[in-house]
C-alpha cells in the first residue's frame, strides 16, 4: 500500500507542482480514506474536483481539494479530522521530502487551516501530526492571529519537542514575513513574544531548525532592527557552533550591506 501512494522525485521532475493537485490526487485521497474504513463517496468527491479544476493555480487547487474534503467528510470536525490524520502514514524522518514525497498532505493542512478554528485543541494536535510529514507553517498562522497567546504557548512547548519538524514549526510558523504567506502584523509591530521560542532553539542540533531560526531573526531585523540586534547581542557571548551559524545566517543581509555592527558581531564570533 505504501509503495502505491509514494511519489518519487524522478516522477515529479517532469511535471509542474500544481499539476499534481488534480483528479489523480483526489482519487488517491479517496482511496486512502476508503482503505481506512471511512464511508466516503469517491465518485462524487472526484467529480466535484474535476468540475472546477481547469485554469486554477497551485494554491487554489489545494483549497479546492480541501473544500471537497469538507463537503464529503462528516460535518463534525473532530470526527472528520481524525479520519484525515489516520491516513497520514509514517512520519518523515528526513529534513527533506515535504513537498515531494508528502505533497498530498497539503489539502489536509489547508482543511485544518480553514475549518478547524473553532476546535483549537483538536487542530493543534492535527497540525503537530501534519508538520511531521508536510508542513504546518501556513496552517498555524490563522490560529496565531485569532488566539495569539494560546497558540504561542503551544508553540513554545513545541520548541522543546523531540521531533525536529515540530521544533522547526515553532520557529517557521511565527516568522513575521514568511514567504508565500500573509504577514503576521502582530509580530511586525512587536516581535518580542516570539523570543522565548527562538531562545529555546538557538543551539538546536538540526540544520533544518537552525535555518528557520536564522530566517525568523532575519525577518525581525527587517522591521525591528534594534530588537533583532538585542537578541543577537544576548546570544553572541560564548555561542555554540550551532548558534554561531544561526547568528551569521540571520545577519546575512546586514553583512552584505557591510553594516558595521554586523561586522563587529561576526568578528566577536571568531
Q: Answer yes or no: do 15 and 101 share one domain.
A: yes
Average of pLDDT values for 152-161?
A: 98
Q: What pLDDT, in 10s, does the model give residues 181-239?
A: 999 999 999 999 999 999 999 999 999 999 999 999 999 999 999 999 999 999 999 99
Q: What pLDDT, in 10s, does the model give residues 95-118?
A: 876 778 899 999 999 999 999 999
Q: Residue 88: what pLDDT?
A: 97
More confidently predicted of 250 and 10 = 250
Does residue 167 surpass a pLDDT of 90? yes
Does residue 10 surpass a pLDDT of 70? no
Does residue 12 surpass a pLDDT of 60? no
Q: Residue 100: what pLDDT?
A: 80
Q: Residue 7 — pLDDT band, cuts 50, 70, 90?
A: very low
Among the candidates 86, 115, 139, a domain finishes at 139
Neighbours of 217 (CB within 10 A): 27
Average of pLDDT values for 129-138?
A: 96
Contacts 24+ apart (CB under 8 A), 7-12: 7/100, 7/101, 7/103, 7/104, 8/100, 8/101, 9/100, 12/100, 12/103
**What is the CATH classification number for the domain harbouring 253?**
1.25.40.290
Q: Residue 97: what pLDDT?
A: 66
Q: Decide if 134 is inside a domain.
A: yes
Q: Residue 261: what pLDDT?
A: 98
The number of distinct structural domains making up the chain is 2
Q: Residue 98: what pLDDT?
A: 76
Q: Answer yes or no: do 200 and 67 share one domain.
A: no
Residue 161: which residues within 8 A CB-CB, separation 6 or more?
A: 167, 170
Domain that holds residue 101: 1-139
Q: Decide if 135 is inside a domain.
A: yes
Amino acid at each position: 500500500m505504501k509503495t502505491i501512494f509514494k511519489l518519487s522525485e524522478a516522477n515529479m521532475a517532469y511535471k509542474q507542482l500544481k499539476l499534481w493537485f488534480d483528479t489523480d490526487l483526489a482519487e488517491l485521497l479517496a482511496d486512502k480514506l476508503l482503505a481506512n474504513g471511512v464511508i466516503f463517496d469517491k465518485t462524487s468527491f472526484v467529480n466535484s474536483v474535476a468540475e472546477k479544476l481547469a485554469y486554477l493555480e497551485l494554491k487554489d487547487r489545494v483549497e479546492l481539494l480541501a473544500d471537497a474534503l469538507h463537503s464529503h467528510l462528516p460535518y463534525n470536525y473532530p470526527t472528520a479530522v481524525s479520519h484525515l490524520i489516520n491516513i497520514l502514514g509514517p512520519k518523515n524522518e528526513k529534513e527533506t521530502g515535504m513537498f515531494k514525497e508528502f505533497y498530498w498532505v497539503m489539502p489536509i493542512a489547508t482543511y485544518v487551516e480553514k475549518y478547524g478554528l473553532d476546535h483549537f485543541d483538536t487542530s493543534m494536535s492535527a497540525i503537530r501530526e501534519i508538520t511531521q510529514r508536510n508542513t504546518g507553517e501556513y496552517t498555524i498562522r490563522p490560529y496565531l492571529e485569532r488566539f495569539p497567546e494560546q497558540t504561542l504557548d503551544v508553540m513554545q512547548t513545541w520548541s522543546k519537542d523531540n521531533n525536529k519538524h515540530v521544533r522547526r514549526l515553532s520557529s517557521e510558523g511565527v516568522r513575521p514575513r514568511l514567504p508565500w504567506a500573509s504577514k503576521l502584523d502582530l509580530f511586525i509591530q512587536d516581535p518580542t513574544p516570539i523570543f522565548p521560542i527562538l531562545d529555546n532553539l538557538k543551539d538546536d542540533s538540526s540544520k533544518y531548525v537552525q535555518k528557520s531560526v536564522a530566517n525568523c531573526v532575519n525577518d525581525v531585523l527587517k522591521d525591528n532592527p534594534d530588537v533583532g540586534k538585542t537578541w543577537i547581542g544576548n546570544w553572541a557571548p560564548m555561542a555554540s557552533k550551532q548558534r554561531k551559524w544561526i547568528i551569521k545566517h540571520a545577519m546575512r543581509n546586514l553583512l552584505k550591506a557591510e553594516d558595521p555592527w554586523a561586522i563587529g558581531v561576526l568578528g566577536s564570533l571568531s
